[in-house]
Structure 1
Amino acid sequence: MDTVQVPPHLAEAPQRRRSRHLAPLQPVAANTRWLLGLGFFVLFVLVWAIFTLGGFVSPTFLASPLTMAREGWLLFTEYNFIHDIGMTVWRVLGGFVLASVIAVPLGIAMGAYKGVEAFFEPFVSFCRYLPASAFIPLLILWAGIGEMQKILVIFIGSFFQVTLMVAVTVGSARRDLVEAAYTLGASDQGIIRRVLIPGAAPGIAETLRLVLGWAWTYVIVAELIGSSSGIGHMITDSQALLNTGQIIFGIIVIGLIGLVSDLAFKALNRKLFAWSSI
């Protein structure tokens, strides 16, 4: 039997033991992942407590964790903060759903038909770089300071991102699958319904999950001006009173809601597209 010749430089190299936890691309167990993530939050709060409770930072500039928790309790018990949370969630969902309903079909059309892409892509790419906050003065003139103005800020911030990302996802479909479908007699519409959309569905779902996170950053900007409710409105009022405890609590609430929505989106994507690696 022939033997395989090993190159001298490899034969002489010492065999190194690979670490189970620190090797590149080595997966981490689910329990370990949760513990590591929780550990960072614990460490962060501990450092925060040391700097604030130890007197290294003035309470005017940064409240302690205990003060933040006390101010958060007051917000819920005396200032009806749950109503502000509900209004903010409603605005995010309203603007995001409106943007998705229009952007996803347009993105699919752009990805499937190169002529449609050539017509829309320059304008969509141009608008994608425009900050949504820059439209607030115009939106106040057009829609007033009511709910529609805030929803439109989130719509503008989400629509162009979703459209372009969906178009890229659909346009990157495997050519061999498309050719195979044509060979089996599929029509142009059948290619879109049976090949492009099913193949791009996991990527589209992941795009929506990412852009939903961006939508949460737009809603606070929308609520800073001309708003009488919402988490952003509460943060603005607290800033005028130099109440950093309430400001930090509002920021943490936004992060927690965003984290819960992100985890829910991930779980839904895994259930709907269990066959995908996304």
Structure 2
Amino acid sequence: MSRRRLLSLRRDIPAPIFAAAGVLVPLVLLGLWWGVTALGLVRPLFLPGPGDVLAEGLRQAREGILWADASVSIYRITVGWLAATVLALPIGILMGNFRLIEGALEPLISTVRYMPVVALIPLSILWAGIGDGQKILILFLGTFFQQVLMVMDNVKTIDMNLIRAGQTLGFSNREILTRIILPAAGPGIWDTLRITIGWTWTYLVVAELVAANTGLGRRIMDAQRYLATDTILFGTLFIGFLGLLTDAAFKRTGRLLFRWTRR
């Protein structure tokens, strides 16, 4: 395939080339990482080699530490994201369809979404204690407000001509919502859910910052105290790997649910 075709704007390329490009960049970065550490250009305290990080991961897996931490963190992520989604979906859909509700809620939600979640940790402890509820609350707060506004925007992008056509045919508001708006906005809303669960993963370390005994984020914070850089790097990469698996699962499910969006 010619270089011109590969670099054409918005043009499809063969799947093997697409997949190879996605593998090549991480391999190049891994090679650079290995080269820098192998040549001693950076002290291991600041950047351990890939082999050291892998050895730390194998140790955690062998001793059961990794699976215990991962199971707790996945539970917190799942509950926090589901709680945010269950509330954000109906609120976002209502805001996208009714200007009165948008006018009443959008200024408040837009303001709160800019508040740093870290600053809310003291309040979350006061409100929810120091158990799992507090961690889940932080994950909820970090996801909910952005999710509401993104769902609202997904709904507002629906062509008004489709809605007017439904009104002309005598559809009720409920029928317009279920037969026109939701099917048309469904793919966009699904992408919003996929993106926001990624944000939930990024808040994990913050959520497990205080009074957590287990969890991937807690392990990273404990390693910081002892300058265990290999543990910090492995934990960060493992969270990214779990997030990648989550993203792949959402993409696969989205292709099955919304087959008509395939190109």
Q: Name the TM-score class by shorter chain.
A: over 0.9
Q: CA deviation at 1:277?
A: 5.1
Amino acid at match of 2:213: S
1:79-118, CA deviations, whole angstroms, 9 ceiling, x for partnerless residues?
5221101111111111000000010001011111111111
Give the total of aligned pairs: 262
User: Where does the alignment leave 5 or more consecutive residues of structure 1 unmatched?
Assistant: 1-16
Aligned match for 2:110, one of 125, 131, 142: 125
Q: CA deviation at 1:226?
A: 1.3
CA contact (8 A) 1:133 1:218 kept: no
Alignment correspondent of 1:156: 141
Aligned match for 2:14, one of 29, 54, 66: 29
Instruction: Give TM-score, length-normalised by structure 1.
Output: 0.91
Q: CA deviation at 1:191?
A: 1.4
Separation in 2, partners of 1:232, 1:141: 21
Alignment correspondent of 1:12: none
For the residue of structure 2 that corresponds to 1:275, the secondary structure is helix
1:123-157, CA deviations, whole angstroms, 9 ceiling, x for partnerless residues?
11111111222211110111111100000001011
Query: Are 2:159 and 1:168 equivalent residues in the alignment?
Result: no
For the residue of structure 1 that corresponds to 2:33, the secondary structure is helix
Alignment correspondent of 2:128: 143
User: Where does the alignment leave 5 or more consecutive residues of structure 2 unmatched?
Assistant: none
Alignment correspondent of 1:222: 207
CA contact (8 A) 1:231 1:250 kept: yes
Alignment correspondent of 1:64: 49
Query: Are 2:79 and 1:113 equivalent residues in the alignment?
Result: no
Tell me which protein shows more helix as a share of its residues: 2
Alignment correspondent of 1:188: 173
For the residue of structure 2 that corresponds to 1:41, the secondary structure is helix
Q: CA deviation at 1:174?
A: 1.0
For the residue of structure 2 that corresponds to 1:138, the secondary structure is helix
Instruction: Give TM-score, length-normalised by structure 2.
Output: 0.96
CA contact (8 A) 1:63 1:244 kept: yes
Query: Are 2:244 and 1:275 equivalent residues in the alignment?
Result: no
Q: CA deviation at 1:26?
A: 2.2
Separation in 2, partners of 1:152, 1:28: 43
CA contact (8 A) 1:112 1:196 kept: no
For the residue of structure 1 that corresponds to 2:261, the secondary structure is coil
Separation in 1, partners of 2:182, 2:34: 50
Separation in 2, partners of 1:137, 1:22: 50
Aligned match for 2:34, one of 25, 34, 49: 49
Bigger radius of gyration: 1
Separation in 1, partners of 2:65, 2:186: 40
Separation in 2, partners of 1:205, 1:79: 34
Separation in 1, partners of 2:191, 2:173: 26
Q: CA deviation at 1:242?
A: 1.3
Report 1:238-257 matches (<5 A): 238-257=223-242
